[in-house]
Amino acid sequence: METGFSKFFRSSLRDAEIILRAGQRIISEINILVENSQGSSQIPKSNPQLLNAEIKKKIARHENIKKKDREDRSGGGLLIAVPSNISAQQIPIQIQQTRELEILAIKIYVRNISFYIVNIYAPRGFNIILIKSFLESLMAPMIIFGDFNLHHPMWGSDHISRYSDEFVEWITDSNLVLLNTTVPTYRSSADATSLLDLTVCSSSISGYCNSYVLDCSFESDHSPIITELSLLNSNKRIFKKVNWQAVMTQTHFIFNNPEVDSENLSDKISHVIANNIREIKVSNRSFPPWWNITDTDQKLNILQLNNRFITHPQLQADLFADYFASKNAYHEPLPLDFLYDKNNLLNKPFHILELHSAIKNSKNTTPGADHVTAIFFKNLDQGQRDVILRYFQKLFDNAIVPDSWKHAILLPIPKPCKDKTKISSYRPIALTSVFSKTFERIFG
């Protein structure tokens, strides 16, 4: 149902069962309506930065909605928010909602994909027998989120609680996958931790799911759990295509021009390649499933530092640079005593066979900031390789390291099963100049 710019579902049940739709995917203003059998209430318009605070204040704690159904206890309540560009259908549940069990289920439709999201709250332990037939009636893949309040060694507990054996048996028999690791999700007032919030999904979509626990409670005794489903990622990938025919033609004049300053040879070649690169945008839908599963080139959305959330890309890059630099131990250079001996093998000029071997053994990996690839070197003819060899020899004889060789691109790669909002959950991969790697390989 729509009202103005807002979308919402009507629920015939208590406040415990509310499905909410809020705003646009790119949010400029929020106008949320919540309606159930007790009437409706409205959350005033809020800017995107205040959206989380508004939802937490007005929905999660059940302030300003309806409290009379909650007078006998605190906590509980279920909510599923769906972006306005995604279709969703509420699934009727013919099960009595009680203080011991609350269930909320919807079906999501995205392009040609459909799946269920089931939200469960069982404050005294989840008894699968009560809703087993309902869950087994759902034909499409499902993701189940729940505060189950169960303990079992399967998720790292040191004891088995009531109902947990039946739950584990049902997961196994139903071909479901538990996405949790052993990271705790609950911290008591006595500072004891346990894993009470579980995420379960159908095995058919488990390869597309990535779930992790945030190291931030937002003033709650439960930590948020982020579950990413790559099937929904509609961002376009950007590929860089090099016109190698034009590159080889233009660099031919560089190699055969005696007036070219050889000290800047690598920079000139890098400039030619950069001028012959064009970007191609390809939709994720063009990729087979195995590519999407293994893809690691995802945007960093949020980093948390000193209780602040960093979302600006440049600030994130600066934080990664400072963090990785702090982990790089500084070593004083060793004093070297150079004794020139023309008969020493180390002092003999580079041989063309050494360059051939270095180029042959180079791998076709991602280039550095200069865009020069190993493929470029492998397509050089004999005369061009002679020019490269003389260039390397001149750099070596004069102890020159080009500035472009000192520059590398650092890519932060998330460590498996780690909180992606923490900067310590990433390891760096450096993309360095293939020119410098080829030069170094001659010595190897």
Instruction: Convert the pLDDT of each residue in 228-278 to its tens digit.
Output: 887 766 555 556 778 888 888 888 888 887 666 666 788 888 888 888 888
Q: In this structure, are residues 237 and 297 in contact, taking their beta carbons and an 8 Å threshold?
A: yes
What is the percentage of the chain residues whose pLDDT exceeds 90? Answer: 15
**pLDDT-derived band of residue 336, with 50, 70 and 90 as boundaries?**
low
Supply 201's token pair: 């999904």
Q: Which residue has the tokens 């055969």?
A: 256
pLDDT tens track for 32-63: 333 334 444 444 444 444 444 444 443 333 33
How far apart, in Å, are the Cα atoms of 65 and each of 37, 61, 77, 437? 12, 9, 11, 64
pLDDT at residue 244 in the model: 81
CA 66 to chain centre: 37
pLDDT tens track for 119-152: 999 999 999 999 999 998 888 899 999 999 999 9
Question: DSSP alpha helices (H): ranges in 220-328?
Answer: 244-255, 265-274, 289-294, 313-326
3-state secondary structure 348-410: CCCCHHHHHHHHHCCCCCCCCCCCCCHHHHHCCCHHHHHHHHHHHHHHHHCCCCCHHHHCCEE
Question: Which of 261 and 30 is assigned the larger pLDDT?
Answer: 261
Q: Which residue has the tokens 């089931």?
A: 118
Q: In this structure, are residues 186 and 195 in contact, taking their beta carbons and an 8 Å threshold?
A: yes
Supply 330's token pair: 């500084």
pTM beyond 0.85: no
pLDDT at residue 164 in the model: 94
Q: Which residue has the tokens 């099960």?
A: 95
Supply 100's token pair: 């011991």
pLDDT at residue 239 in the model: 63
Question: Which of 262 and 352 is assigned the larger pLDDT?
Answer: 352
- In sequence order, the β-bridge partners of residue 102 are 121
How far apart, in Å, are the Cα atoms of 103 and each of 14, 36, 181, 228, 276? 12, 16, 24, 22, 57
Supply 124's token pair: 């005294």
Q: Which residues have C-beta within 8 Å of that of residue 255, sequence separation ≥ 6?
A: 383, 384, 387
pLDDT at 24 over 80: no
Report the SS3 class of residue 240. strand
Give the mean pLDDT of the chain. 74
**pLDDT-derived band of residue 304, with 50, 70 and 90 as boundaries?**
confident
Supply 380's token pair: 């050089």
pLDDT at residue 261 in the model: 60
Question: Which of 107 and 332 is assigned the larger pLDDT?
Answer: 107
> In a 10 Å sphere around its CB, with 0-12 CB exposed, 13-18 middle and 19+ buried, how is residue 334 labelled?
exposed
Question: Which of 185 and 298 is assigned the larger pLDDT?
Answer: 185
pLDDT at 381 over 60: yes
What is the percentage of the chain residues whose pLDDT exceeds 70? Answer: 69
Q: Which of 62-71, 152-161, 298-307, 313-322 has the lowest average pLDDT?
A: 62-71
Question: Which of 184 and 306 is assigned the larger pLDDT?
Answer: 184
Q: Which of 75-84, 85-94, 157-166, 167-176 has the lowest average pLDDT?
A: 75-84
Q: In this structure, are residues 14 and 69 in contact, taking their beta carbons and an 8 Å threshold?
A: yes
pLDDT at 206 over 90: no
What does the pLDDT average to over 193-221?
A: 84
Q: What is the sign of the dihedral through the CA atoms of 228, 229, 232 and 235?
A: positive
Question: Which of 444 and 443 is assigned the larger pLDDT?
Answer: 443
Instruction: For the chain, give the longest Cα–Cα distance.
Output: 96
pLDDT at residue 148 in the model: 95
Q: How many angstroms separate the first and last alpha carbons of the chain?
A: 69
